[in-house]
Amino acid sequence: MIVKVLLPLILAFIMFSLGLGLKGRDFSRVLKFPVAFGVGLFNQIVFLPLVALGLAHAFGLSATFAVGLMILALCPGGVTSNLLAKLARGNAPLSISLTAITSLLSILTVPLLVAFSFNHFMGDDAPPVDVTRLGLTMFLITAVPVLIGMVFTAKSPDLVEKMAPGVLRASGVLFVVIIIAALAKNWGVFSSNLGTLGPVAVLLSIVMLGFGLASAKLLRLDDRDATTISIESGVQNGTLAIAVGSIVAVVEGQVLPPVTVPAAVYSITMYFVCVPFVFWRRGTMNE
């Protein structure tokens, strides 16, 4: 019961941290760079799930892990992608705008595609997925906290400026707590399947970072936009993926079920790929 209550609250707090500093212009600002936004959106909403689907079949993942990988691929970037884009000296406003809009879109796309993933990989053994309930739950624990954060920013900008660093640090700590909890709950499953899930998670990051960079270069976008698109394409919200997996599994009475393991593994391996990439791009910007 404690985890059932804490998991949504932690995710809500992390989404609240995303809303701090977010303003209405972050949604309309995409009109300033429509091509960059369009390719970033396509990579996240269309190409990433297709890559995850292909990897799940190519590596012969079990139905549970395949669904978990798909849930991860359907989630937006989150706060982490914004921080990495800023560290890499990418286009931070573009990163924030992509994260904000894909986070809102995920309320509609994730429930539908999660239901598809369960049916595709599990067939008759798929648990029932209440799309409406999942969408409403996602709205309450993602969109509402973001909106509250935006209201705080609009009403008390000075206070937000003071509290934002502490909130971000707390979000980082809570993110680590969720990952550790998911792995601890499924340690046997995790340790026995790391040899398969690890390479899949690493390959997913490499493919998406590379495709993000290539697609931006193909459209002749500048280095800052290309860096941001690459990071937004290759960094997913592992906490949200774990929460979605747990919300769906509540039907079966499970908390932090095995379907959350791919997201937990990815949340660790992602940094082995993304951090070197970020510093490489950061160095490129200095040249």
Q: Which segments of the chain does DSSP mark as H helices, in order?
A: 2-19, 25-28, 34-42, 48-58, 63-74, 79-87, 92-122, 131-138, 144-155, 157-185, 187-218, 223-234, 238-249, 261-286
pTM: 0.85
CA–CA gap between residue 255 and residue 245 (Å, rounded)? 9
Angle between helix axes 2-19 and 92-122 (nearest 10 degrees) is 150
Buried b or exposed e, range 204-236, using 16+ CB within 10 angstroms: bbebbbebbbebbeeeebebbbbbbbbbbbbbb
Write down the pLDDT at residue 219: 92
Fold exhibited by the domain 2-281: Na+/H+ antiporter like fold (1.20.1530)
Q: Which of 166, 172, 207 is nearest to 83 (CA)?
A: 172
Please report how many Cα atoms fall inside a 13 Å half-sphere around the Cα of residue 140, on the Cβ side.
11
Cβ neighbours around 195 below 10 Å, total: 8
- Name the average pLDDT for the chain: 83
Pair 206, 272: CB distance under 8 Å: no
The ranges assigned to domains in the chain are 2-281
Write down the pLDDT at residue 205: 93
Q: Counting beta carbons within 10 angstroms of the beta carbon of residue 128, is it exposed (0 to 12), middle (13 to 18) or buried (19 or more)?
A: exposed
Q: Please tell me which residue, 108 or 193, carries the higher pLDDT value.
A: 108
CA–CA gap between residue 44 and residue 97 (Å, rounded)? 13
CA–CA gap between residue 236 and residue 109 (Å, rounded)? 15
Write down the pLDDT at residue 254: 55
Indicate the pLDDT class of residue 42, thresholds 50, 70 and 90: very high
Cα dihedral sign for 130, 205, 219, 22? positive
Write down the pLDDT at residue 2: 46
Q: What is the pLDDT of residues 212-269, one digit of tens each?
A: 999 999 999 999 899 999 999 988 888 888 888 877 765 445 556 788 889 888 888 8
CA–CA gap between residue 43 and residue 30 (Å, rounded)? 16
Which of the 8 DSSP states describes residue 33?
S
